A and B are shown apart, each in its own frame.
Chain A
């Protein structure tokens, strides 16, 4: 097995014991959805607005929990231990894989809650939505992981993370909102090809840039 897989397993075991990220993520998701429900009250919202709000919940949930992979290593002082046992590529691979799993678990949870609680959230083309969901989650995980690595060495991590993430994740969130709208309209995969291609390119660029940059970020 590759070292990155063992770093992922270490992080997963550590997360199951310490609940560094999961607790904050679950609480954030529940609170955000509750706030939206309370603010809507008995009003009915349009399906497009429901689709947009879904990605707003996903974006802010990602902001609350995904930085933990690197931040917890820096805060506990174990980052140096990792530097002493693994190559930068293995560390980044392991952390990225962990964040992908975390993002998928978190967003499936949001999707299930959202589908139950919001009547306006009706997807006519589920395949298109799931394609966007899959590529979108990978993009969110890749962008969040490299941003987490950058801010983990900074003094004011909590403020920097959303500030740095916003411009990087904005194009991704906009394309995801557009694709959700298209899947609500029942548009076919072929008609949404351009949006899917943009999403795919975003993921490829994020992966490549992250792996190239990480070496410089990880070493002091």
Chain B
């Protein structure tokens, strides 16, 4: 079990003059699966981008800490993992090359065993040397889970994790999420009932308008 926590304090976001949500207060600690729900356009993706440090809130703040110490924004990327339909990996490289590049850029030694484990789990091992541009959209979505998990982050954000996946892919992903959440925080932003069923606590964004 890690000692990671993430807290959003009075987070408000405007795009221009349009209010997306206001005064969101959240706190997640150690481990478990949490959810964010809301209709299309309610700001689920915006909120997870704020929580991952990709964009800044208009008001309020997000604090990430490990062992009671705040994590500097420049180092946050090594503690978080992110999956979303709008995330794009490098099509001109193979799955294995992508994983290797990401590990090197993150400054960590690639655990080949772990990488192969995820490739096997997600049914991509046989195609690991093929360029990503030859993958189907479902295979690319599975690949994003390896991108998000291979560096063992304490906080994994899954924005519509099962989009583009077939039933077999969904089952594999659910199994992976449940195993991973045993010792880490997993946050799911989705409209899918099956996705949200995994969560022990779901925040409904329509309550923050």
Contacts and interface: CB of A to CB of B under 8 A. Distances in A.
A77 interface: yes
B104 interface: yes
Interface in B13-62: 52, 54-56
B158 to A, nearest CB: 13
Interface stretch (A7-15, A51-59, A139-147): A7-15
B54 A7 contact: no
Contact of A81 (B52, B55, B89): B89
B138 to A, nearest CB: 18
Nearest to A14: B92
Nearest to B97: A13
A8 B102 CA distance: 13
A87 B90 contact: no
Q: Which of B52, B80, B91, B104 has the most CB of A within 10 A?
A: B104
A87 B74 contact: yes
A86 interface: yes
B93 A90 contact: no
A7 B82 CA distance: 19
A83 B105 CA distance: 11
Contacts of A17: 92-93
A77 B77 contact: no
Given A17-B92, A87-B74, A87-B77, A220 B55 contact: yes
A34 interface: no
Interface residues of A, number: 26
Contacts of A18: 92
Contacts of B52: 84
A14 B93 contact: yes
A110 B104 CA distance: 34
Contacts of A86: 77, 105-106
Nearest to B72: A87
Interface in A35-91: 76-78, 80-81, 83-90
A120 to B, nearest CB: 43
B54 A220 contact: yes
Interface of A: 1-3, 6-7, 9-10, 13-14, 17-18, 76-78, 80-81, 83-90, 219-220
Interface of B: 52, 54-56, 74-75, 77, 80, 82, 86-93, 97, 101-102, 104-107, 147
30 contacts: A1-B104, A2-B107, A3-B105, A6-B101, A6-B104, A9-B104, A10-B90, A10-B101, A14-B92, A14-B93, A18-B92, A76-B91, A77-B86, A78-B89, A78-B90, A80-B54, A81-B88, A81-B90, A83-B54, A84-B52, A84-B77, A85-B106, A86-B105, A86-B106, A87-B74, A87-B75, A87-B77, A219-B55, A220-B54, A220-B55
4 residue pairs, one from A and one from B, having the closest CB atoms: A77-B88, A6-B104, A87-B74, A17-B92
